[in-house]
Chain A
Amino acid sequence: MPFDQAFKISSILLAIIAFSGLVFAQSVPFWIAIPTAIILIVTLCDAGGIALVRRAMAQVTVSPTIWNVLLIGAFVIFLIDLTAVSQDLLPAGIHFLVMLLGIKLLTLQQRCDYRHLYAISLMAILASAALTTDAWYLPIFLLYLLGAVWTLLLYHLTQETTEASAVITPTSMAAGHATFLGRITQRFFWLTNGIAVMTVGLTLAIFFVIPRIGAGVLQKTHGEALRTTGFSDRVDLGTIGSVKQDPQIVMRVELPDQPTVAKDRLHLRGLAYDQYNGRSWSHSGTRRRSLSLVAEGVFLARPAGSRLPDSLSVPIRQDILLETLDTPVLFAAPFAELVSGDFLAVQIDGMSGLHLPLSPSSRARYSVTSQVPQLVAGDQAAMVLAYPDSIRSRYLQVPVESQQVADLAHRVVQQVSTPFRQTLAIQQHLLDNYRYSLEADTATLNHPLDEFLFVRKTGYCEHYATAMVMMLRTIGIPARLVTGFLATEWNEFGGYFTVRQRDAHAWVEVYFPQSGWITMDPTPSVSAAAGTSRWESIRRFGESFRLQWDRLFVRYSGKDQLAVVHEVREGSDALRERVSSWISALSAPIGHVLTRLARMSRIVQPGVLECITGVVVVGLALLLLMLRDRIGLWASMHLSIAPSQHAIVQLYARMLRTLEKKGLSKLPAVTAAEFARQVERKWGAAGPVVADVTALYHQGRFSRVPLLPKELSRAAEQVGRLQSLLRATH
């Protein structure tokens, strides 16, 4: 493909990528998006050389006045949008930006139009960064970088080509030159993509290295919190059923210290309830106390010094990413020992439920180390268990009208001797004789439990759990109802449980004097075993990718950075020294700038990601601009599109351009040496420089021996010197 065409196509593709970024961010209403998309497709077809479109486009010529009128129209729309429709600068600005994009695409003629297009694309991609924290931004951004690298390179190369050909004025030697004024060769293709990959690498490096200004200014500030049920002071029987179909993700739970097996189910405990009035559950002791802070962000859930009754308990560490919920409850496997997270305070209620002081306004990430109590042998075998009074008074309460339930319970356990076996018998009874169904809507019934146990015999977790608690209590075994989530969906790609709304669950905790509260679940397992089909695993892979995106980019904070630095420091002594010296060398000035920036950011509230993205993209663009000569030099030296002489010819052409600005232009029939003498006469200061470049040009252009890289860079230096000479004279 010739450079010219490739350049046009890549420019338009860049615009398309930026535009799709905005569309994905759902910030472009359809009345702008559809025309713009049509314009994009048409211009792309035009640039792609589709004859039909090309002919049609060639026939449409519109005078500049109309474009100006259109521009003014777009601005008027923007003003109306700003004042009446969106009434906000960001959406109105984006609408205006998209309109500008459309207008600019239709008027792509000169090179400055293309530069405007790039500016608009850059703003669009920055705007979409400001609007989203979702993972789809990553591919868009990577595509944008790739497109940007291609476009900048092609822009540069086509510029060189047009300028060089203007100097050559090909007559009879046109055929000889047309060959090196480029096409996209395979080598060029891979090299450009290589540069793009390097750019991405550089961006990532900068992203991870540049100190954070603050964490998560934009973390999901818009969008509603997920509505949950079952985690308030009172739970009506049958409410959980309403969310059992909802696949929304509530949290993701990683088990970092566990072996990767046995990831079938994990109970994530929310709140426990001890009082049942026949229709709903509630707490009796709602008094909460704050957990003691043992380190910054680390809370000790167990009163200091106390020990669990037995050492049989198994510690489980969970790293939990909790979506924004409308409840301040923190979920964890029973029973939390240590909670660490970016919280000011964590509270615990009388039944080991963890609470935040307020519902979190954004996603929360926290780790919990839990000790899962195991039933000790003594409790298992004991014929009679002696319960403390505090337990007896609280966890044996039954509503008055439950005689029928008590009869059932006694019937079930009459053959069974020990309390533990009785518990198991009741659980088994419920598992065997009742059918799981989400259709049992009992919320409106007066006696939902009786209905479940004796009439419908179908229900779901709340019914099962409530039934078990009630039956246990009627035979004198303390028990309570627990709500939370039952994690069953193991994501093998990311190594974590995905927990959804529909995993909301209720189960039972049974008290044993030596072991403590033991989790029992009378609900038959209904998890339709997350599919193993390929589609399912792709979906799970995408899920885990989103988690990584969130972890690595959206929520990548100064703390994570420090953690990385710590790891690096621990890794190697040499590296540690270097890193620490860098940090100490950089931290003072950067910190100074950053505190100032942070102060500013508090006023205008820019996000972290888009700040950094913006800085990186702009910086790269500037870098490319500054390294134009070097890149051109490098490209012409290394790309197969040009013979080795091309580099010096380009430099010479650049020198001619520079001299033209001084009013010294070379006529086509004037040879380089003659021109050098002319320059010497008219602009003595530049004489030696021009003579040197001319000599190098002669040698590089016409001799058999190509110039050494050293000589080429000397020529480049000389041209640079000439440019600064020119600047000095202005």
Chain B
Amino acid sequence: MSSVHTIRAIQDNIELVIKGKTHVIEMAVVCLLARGHLLLEDVPGVGKTTLAHSLARSLDCSFKRIQFTSDLLPSDIVGVSMFNRQKQGFEFIPGPIFANVVLADEINRTTPKTQSSLLEAMSEAQISVDNQTHPLEQPFMVIATQNPAEYHGTFPLPESQLDRFLMRLSIGYPSLEEERKVLDRPHSLHPAEALEAVLTAHEVLALQARVDRVHMEESLTDYLLAIVQATRQSELLSLGVSTRGALALSKAAKALAVVRGRDYCLPDDIKELAPIVLSHRVMLNRTHGMRTQSFEQAERMVLDIVETVSVPV
């Protein structure tokens, strides 16, 4: 099976569960292939968890879900060393982070301390406990969800941590037609549970390797950098995109190229991904009368900036 078909298969699989969100699903797959982590930010009840779940289900990989609460401790995530009497020594009991796909549900409900315990795992794909380093299994992907509507009892993610997510997606309400289809479905069984895996871990790794081989023409790199420059110079933003952000955009663009069945990037890949890859990495300039940083505002700003950068011909 060619890579295009494989990827198509995951998307179709997830679409069995989540109706009418083709684009979001595609982006989730892009994130997977780019070895990135996904931040789903939306109001409750539009299918964030379901998306994460069904993506995990579609892969023949281990899947763990962590419900973040305010009393969650770092050891609840990474694991803990316990004294084993028989062996007369400490033994590391891996936490739920030791899985291929980890769903960090409502990540902003826990304390920054616990949130930052995810940092090492997300950026280095390893866990250090008691001077011991435990590598995480590959592929490894964190899918975090958060609810922007609630502010009570939440701890907004720090910029450094946001930067570690490849992209931030919102799912949005389904259309009337799609919603009707959801209602018509039998509710007895959680639909994501019914999914069958269509991709092995090995195949995912192969696809990820393919992303690395995607060709990005020199002028496209220039284009990408021009976009990044523009965010740094824009008056609308007080914080531009970091170098990690540029790297993320490049990786995501390559992954999108693979998803679309190409082995080279197009300007369109970059342009399309820029809002969702960059918008959570910038800070809006508060002097422009924007008190709070909302998802849509940031995305619109990035989109506006992208529209000022000429595409190479």
Contact = CB atoms under 8 A, between A and B. Distances in A.
B313 A702 contact: no
Contact of A653 (B219, B306, B310, B313): B313
Interface stretch (A87-95, A164-172, A476-484): A164-172
Nearest to B305: A669
B46 to A, nearest CB: 28
Nearest to A668: B310
Interface in B204-255: 215, 217-220, 222-223, 225-226, 229
Interface in A542-561: none
A362 to B, nearest CB: 62
Interface in A622-676: 649, 652-653, 668-674
Interface in A138-178: 164, 167-169, 171-173, 176-177
A704 interface: yes
Contacts of B307: 669
A390 interface: no
A176 B263 contact: no
A269 interface: no
B193 interface: no
Residue picked from A172, A177, A670, A674, most chain B C-beta under 10 Å: A172
B134 interface: no
Interface stretch (B4-12, B141-149, B163-171, B266-274): B266-274
Contacts of A702: 215, 217, 220, 264-267
Given A669-B307, A671-B268, A704 B313 contact: no
Contact of A674 (B229, B264, B268): B268
Contact of B313 (A164, A673, A699): A164
A703 interface: yes
B313 A171 contact: no
B312 interface: yes
A668 B311 contact: yes
Interface in A672-708: 672-674, 698-699, 701-704
B267 A672 contact: yes
A672 B226 contact: no
Nearest to B229: A172
A496 B226 CA distance: 76
Contact of A167 (B215, B308, B313): B313
A652 B219 contact: no
A98 B218 CA distance: 51
A698 B312 contact: no
Contacts of A698: 266
Contact of B226 (A164, A172, A671): A172
Contact of B266 (A167, A177, A671, A704): A671
B310 A171 contact: yes
B195 interface: no
Residue picked from A171, A172, A671, A702, most chain B C-beta under 10 Å: A702
Nearest to A701: B217
Contacts of B215: 702-704
Given A669-B306, A669-B308, A652 B313 contact: yes
Interface in B266-313: 266-268, 271, 306-313
B64 to A, nearest CB: 39
Residue picked from B220, B226, B310, most chain A C-beta under 10 Å: B310
A202 B39 CA distance: 69
A673 B309 CA distance: 16
A672 B265 contact: no
B313 A172 contact: no
B222 A173 contact: yes
A324 B216 CA distance: 76
B225 to A, nearest CB: 7
A189 B215 CA distance: 34
Contacts of A672: 266-268, 311, 313
Contacts of B263: 703-704
A173 B306 contact: no
Interface string A305-331: 000000000000000000000000000
Contacts of A671: 266-268, 271, 311
Interface in B133-180: none
Contacts of A169: 310
A649 B313 contact: yes
A173 B215 CA distance: 18
B255 to A, nearest CB: 16
Interface string A442-454: 0000000000000
Nearest to B215: A704
Contacts of A168: 310, 312-313
A102 to B, nearest CB: 40
Contacts of B218: 176
Contacts of B226: 171-173
Given A674-B268, A703-B264, A669 B217 contact: no
Nearest to A645: B217
Contacts of B271: 671, 674
Interface in A59-102: none
B153 to A, nearest CB: 42
A333 B300 CA distance: 102
Contacts of B217: 701-703
Contacts of A674: 268, 271
B235 to A, nearest CB: 18
20 contacts: A171-B309, A172-B229, A173-B219, A173-B226, A176-B218, A176-B222, A177-B219, A669-B308, A669-B311, A670-B311, A671-B268, A672-B266, A672-B311, A673-B266, A674-B271, A702-B217, A703-B215, A703-B262, A703-B264, A704-B215
Given A176-B218, A702-B265, 18 more contacts: A164-B313, A171-B310, A172-B226, A173-B226, A173-B312, A649-B313, A669-B308, A670-B311, A671-B267, A672-B267, A672-B268, A672-B311, A674-B268, A702-B220, A703-B215, A703-B217, A703-B263, A703-B264
Interface of A: 164, 167-169, 171-173, 176-177, 649, 652-653, 668-674, 698-699, 701-704
- Sort A-B residue pairs by CB-CB distance and give the 7 closest, nearest first: A668-B310, A703-B264, A173-B222, A671-B267, A704-B215, A172-B226, A702-B217
